[in-house]
Amino acid sequence: MKEEKKIKRCQVHIWKRSDKNKMYFKCLAPYCPTYKHRDFLEGKAAICPKCKNEFILLRTHLKKRIPVCLLCSRSPKKHAALAAQSIMNDLFKEVELPDEERDFELDHETDHEMELRDETNELNSILDGLGLGDEN
């Protein structure tokens, strides 16, 4: 009996535009044979070849030879994205504190309401800077 070679396909790919056909992207993983047309990649998850974090491919990413995430790009929006990431990390740290270390009490509801409003306004301004804010 013949032994069949198992092809190792990635769950999430690291993409590079094909040298032969600019409309196609190939996966850079050594054993992954995947090629996709760029129209099918928009909105799909990918791995940044620089930082190895997962990100969603947009039309702007697919114009580049090797798409990278916003944090690894030289885009002016990078600084706003870094600020948003820092704020989100701080919020997640606050949520993960044990109950006895949380300083939120109903007696201090007005103080926290002001802090929450300030943080919400800061997040909204960052999202607006990234072009991701609500357009009501």
The rounded distance, in Å, linking the Cα atoms of 63 and 84 is 25
Q: Is the predicted pLDDT of residue 99 greater than 80, yes or no? A: no
Lowest mean pLDDT among 8-22, 42-56, 73-87: 73-87
Q: Is the predicted pLDDT of residue 65 greater than 50, yes or no? A: yes
Best CA proximity match to 50, nearest among 63, 68, 66, 65: 68
Best CA proximity match to 9, nearest among 29, 25, 38, 23: 29
Domain residue ranges in the chain: 15-63, 78-130
Predicted TM-score of the model (pTM): 0.54
